[in-house]
Structure 1
């Protein structure tokens, strides 16, 4: 019977790739970040703009992308902090928490088509980094960051902003989040 059904026998099929199933490690405090209205709005914002009209499987959202970047941050840190590396001896626990939060929240200020709109340089549209700072520092998200992560929300916003403008000094963690080859591009 399978031989008579082209969808099941594989004959003459075209292939359409959809997102792979990947597990993202969640703790209670990560779930609390994900449950904030600021993060939930990212579920409605496409990561790929109009690409899904050409490639129907390209339905990646900013929420999914943020989870993927956070997952890569966890994997990268596990690797780099193992075996008493230089990073392990030169980085504080707070810096690691700030990096993980920055990885999860790096796109929090995006809105639909924001890069295309920002490229027009219209004065009435603030940069998405400005919205990110507001959402991280002055919303329910700030309460969760302070209460559950015990770090200052402004430090998370500063790390995210420094990935755009280069920051005051070189930082391995900053370059992992935004560099020639980084967890946001992988």
Structure 2
């Protein structure tokens, strides 16, 4: 089961948060951001299902669960705007999609270090999953001692107007 942190799919909440970080916000911008967040939330759900299915299979086949627990979260609007400002990204849907890859994220806590590689390998074997970026802090820990594998993976999300490749950050 995935613990999901409060997300920002509510248009009223997005409008309020946008007003706190942007001087003038148009209804069109609110609509675009709401649509974008819904799309990324769906991508997060796709990966959540994939991870839960892998964990269930490990339990059934090997009487072992590599995943201790998972947490999912959507980036809050203020954090998104701060990142856009820092990177000089204009408030345009296409610019956000091409430059920000951690709007949706899942943190996977494993029981053992070896489980990290097993989860990565099994996710990447799936033909609808595409690796965009990989940062290995397991074999190359940060100075603080932090160890994790950060993956930006994309998965198709099917909407009424067609499929979209949606990136999701997976931290294992």
TM-score, normalization by structure 1: 0.35
Which structure has more strand as a fraction of its residues? 2
**What is the TM-score when the length of structure 2 is the normalising length?**
0.37
Q: Bigger radius of gyration, 1 or 2? A: 1
